Homo-oligomer: A and B are copies of this chain.
Amino acid sequence: MIRVLVWNEFQHEKKKEKVAAIYPNGIHQTIADFLGKEEDIVVKTAWLDMETKDCGITQEMLDETDVLIWWGHAYHQYVPDEVAFMIRDAVLAGMGFIALHSAHHSKPFRYLLGTSCNLTWRESGDSELLWVVEPGHPITQGIDRYFRLPEVETYGEPFVIPTPDKLLFIGSYSGGEVFRSGCLFERGNGKIFYFQPGHESFPIFHDENVQTVIRNAVRFVAPTYRRMTKCPHIRKLGDERGYIIDEK
């Protein structure tokens, strides 16, 4: 059973009518709904202004989470550094992390990758073709050569990230821009998937192909083994376990 936690800023849905119409219970709930139908997945949700401290995320919750999905946009700075570091460390210990759309600028994503994660953007309702670069990868299964989203926010290169361990999708926008729309990173024992679609003003998380990719990604980044890598201070060579025996 893969235990997924979907975190959402959950502000636009409460402040903008257009967004509320698309996601009446929040983006997190839409994602939780389609993931929750899977037999091998259980889902919880959290959001920025839950009546809990720490923006809805505690160490206890992370300890019970296999894959954390993150959607944030305009309130990244309200996530405390302590929480962002807790998440980073959980990923280094093996927890999967999926950053959606404007979460490219979220603290957990930036702290894990180290770069600015800046990108070029344009808000125009362009359509996007998402092309599969690696048709044999588990995350792209069930997707044809490409799929089309009729209205998106346009993201463009340069996207200031470390070279991804694997590039899975390239997005092509009707205005001509391109973007590395599906990127996989491995950090410590954890896997990180960045996926570009997800602007709040369009019903992107209702799209069947988007849901397929997220479902695949949850299964792919879920850890088989989860523990922080031990880097012991060896005091002497010798016969105690953990010490190193050199018999030569």
Contact = CB atoms under 8 A, between A and B. Distances in A.
A26 interface: no
A155 to B, nearest CB: 10
A111 interface: yes
A236 interface: yes
Contacts of A247: 127, 148, 150
**Chain copies in the assembly?**
4
Interface in A114-153: 114-116, 118-122, 124, 127, 129, 131-136, 138, 141, 145-146, 148, 150
A236 B94 CA distance: 42
Contact of A158 (B89, B118, B138, B231): B231
Interface stretch (A7-15, A184-192, A206-214): A184-192
Interface stretch (A37-45, A54-62, A68-76, A175-183): A175-183
Given A156-B234, A162-B162, A166-B163, A145 B225 contact: no
A63 to B, nearest CB: 17
23 contacts: A114-B187, A133-B157, A133-B159, A135-B189, A135-B230, A141-B224, A141-B225, A145-B232, A146-B176, A146-B244, A154-B234, A156-B234, A157-B170, A162-B162, A162-B185, A166-B186, A170-B178, A171-B178, A172-B172, A174-B242, A175-B246, A176-B237, A176-B242
